[in-house]
């Protein structure tokens, strides 16, 4: 079964290679850290401390891991922490957020046996913590073979993902049973991973740990104040936040926002638009400029008239939680 998975993965990469090359050339995606993705990591400086490997896919998972890392540092000061991400934006945020506490921050390896084994040889973890159910079959299997404890933290499985997983339940059951522990966000998530084959005694429910973050401690309170002062986000005008958007959602949101503005009397609403992918910031900015609305980019030089803009484009990484 794992051989078939590896074969399909290889075929899939081959089919999508032109798209990968296009995105790498145009946006720098996938090209960054190619050696690390191939499992070519320098070995950690010989340490006697156990190593905890924390994996966060992208920006959201990295931000959500803040309270977890704080507790790990507090409870296990003699352990060494390393952090991996999948995306370029996740890597940038991880270096900013965990640069002082992590011994290494790197890209997660491609899920082939050879690349995974190289990465595990270099890091030699005692435990792996995976944020939000990033289930890479080969990686989990190799960890199990090496007696490396693996836990999913802040796990979630959407109804759509659950339906897809059920179509390959025999295989996905073997995958999830490589987990020692799954700490899920909700009872519904717990029931889904249990239905996929993970025994109930290895499942816990914690709620969403991103809400455990101390906004004051991580400096977000100051950023919130800056955003409110510049754009005058207050009770005078309702604020609509459209977060983590994809194409063509922004076009639909803008048109709906125009209709709403024309329909409402009294307090005229404002819109904060935060696209999911940084490479689309310029595209969304151009869309806003042609919309006829008074728009301001977060990265633009602050001006007095920003306080009266109709739409603020949050064209930054990692600031959404401060809004």
Q: Which residues are catalytic?
A: 61
Q: What is the token pair recorded at 165? A: 């997983």
Burial of 234 (0-12, 13-18, 19+ CB in 10 A): exposed
Strand partners of residue 53: 82, 128
Query: Quick check: 47 and 80 in contact, CB under 8 A?
Result: yes
CB 103 within 8 A of CB 82: yes
**Residue carrying the six token digits 């980019």:** 297
- Identify the bridge partners of residue 271 per DSSP, sorted by sequence position: 240, 311
276 phi, psi to nearest 5 deg: -65, -45
Pairwise CA distance, residues 12 & 21, whole Å: 14
The CA distance from 275 to 249, in Å, is 9
Q: CB-based contacts of 265: which residues, under 8 Å, 6+ apart?
A: none
């Amino acid at each position: 079964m794992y051989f078939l998975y590896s074969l399909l993965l290889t075929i899939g990469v081959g089919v999508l290679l032109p798209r990968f090359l296009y995105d790498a050339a145009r946006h720098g995606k996938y090209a960054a850290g190619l050696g690390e993705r191939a499992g070519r990591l320098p070995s950690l400086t010989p340490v006697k401390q156990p190593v905890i490997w924390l994996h966060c896919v992208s920006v959201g998972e990295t931000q959500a891991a803040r309270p977890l890392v704080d507790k790990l540092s507090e409870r296990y000061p003699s352990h060494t922490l390393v952090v991996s991400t999948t995306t370029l934006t996740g890597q940038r945020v991880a270096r900013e957020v965990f640069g002082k506490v992590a011994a290494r921050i790197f890209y997660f390896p491609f899920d082939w046996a050879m690349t995974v084994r190289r990465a595990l040889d270099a890091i030699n973890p005692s435990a792996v913590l995976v944020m939000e159910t990033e289930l890479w079959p080969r990686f989990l299997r190799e960890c199990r073979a090496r007696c490396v404890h693996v836990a999913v933290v802040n796990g979630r499985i959407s109804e759509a993902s659950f339906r897809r997983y059920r179509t390959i339940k025999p295989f996905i059951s073997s995958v999830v049973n490589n987990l020692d522990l799954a700490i899920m966000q909700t009872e519904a998530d717990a029931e889904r991973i249990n239905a996929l084959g993970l025994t109930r005694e290895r499942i816990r429910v914690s709620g969403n740990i991103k809400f455990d973050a101390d906004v004051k401690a991580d400096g977000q309170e100051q950023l919130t104040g800056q955003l409110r002062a510049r754009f005058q986000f207050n009770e005078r005008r309702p604020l609509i936040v459209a977060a983590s958007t994809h194409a063509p959602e922004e076009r639909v949101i803008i048109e709906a926002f125009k209709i709403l503005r024309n329909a409402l009397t009294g307090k005229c609403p404002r819109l904060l638009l935060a696209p999911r992918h940084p490479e689309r910031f310029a595209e969304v900015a151009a869309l806003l400029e042609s919309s006829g609305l008074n728009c301001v980019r977060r990265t633009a030089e602050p001006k007095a008239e920003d306080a009266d803009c109709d739409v603020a484009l949050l064209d930054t990484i990692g600031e959404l939680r401060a809004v």
